Amino acid sequence: IGTDGAIYVADWYDPVVGGHQMQDTLNFGRIYRITPKNKKLTAPRIDLSNTAGQIDALKNPAVNVRFLAFEALKKQGDAVVEAVSNLLKDNNPYVQARAIWLLPQLGEQGKTAAISLLKDENEITRATALRSLRVTVTDILPYAVQLQNDPSAYVRREVAQALAGLPYEKAKPVLLELVKQYPENDKWYLNAVCGAFSGH
């Protein structure tokens, strides 16, 4: 994905499927640029020297640009919690998700902001917040306990996955709560819970 939002596809000719034997003597290939019909895309100016530019870059469709923005914002820590939190109001759910992933990596204020999202009305926000905390906290169990009776099976599946690998005696009370709430015929839920029980 380019910084302009276009999709770029690199293709080349090779008489052997899979490209394991480069036998192309013609050096024949193409790069396709795919854009929305009747829409002119332009590459934005990227400025990572200040917070506003970093926030804009975090919204960029190009993964390498987002990475640089993420790392630059992370270095600023608590100083950018408010600016990053404002992205939670963005119309693009992917931009919201990037903010949720970044928040707990911004220090204690960011972690507190991420924890507060465990009570958000949106199930995807709650699940993403739990995932982001798994990356940053040393003990996920208190947050798993908080969400063990979440009304969303989607969120409870995330709780089960968060418990995988924990000592059984620690995870057992929450796992048993999750089993009690098994929604019939939900194979995703079943697999998540079974994965957490694996080895115990």
The pLDDT > 90 percentage for the chain reads 87
- pTM of the prediction? 0.85
Q: Say which residues have a Cβ less than 8 Å from residue 96's Cβ, sequence separation at least 6.
A: 87, 88, 90, 125
Q: Are 116 and 80 in contact (CB under 8 A)?
A: no
CB atoms near residue 29 (< 10 Å): 11
Residues 115-149 pLDDT 10s: 999 999 999 999 999 999 999 999 999 999 999 99
Give the H/E segment covering residue 77. none
Residue 20, pLDDT > 70, answer no
Residues 146-198 pLDDT 10s: 999 999 999 999 999 999 989 999 999 999 999 999 999 999 999 999 999 99
Report the pLDDT value the prediction gives residue 52, as an integer from 0 to 100. 97
Report the pLDDT value the prediction gives residue 174, as an integer from 0 to 100. 97
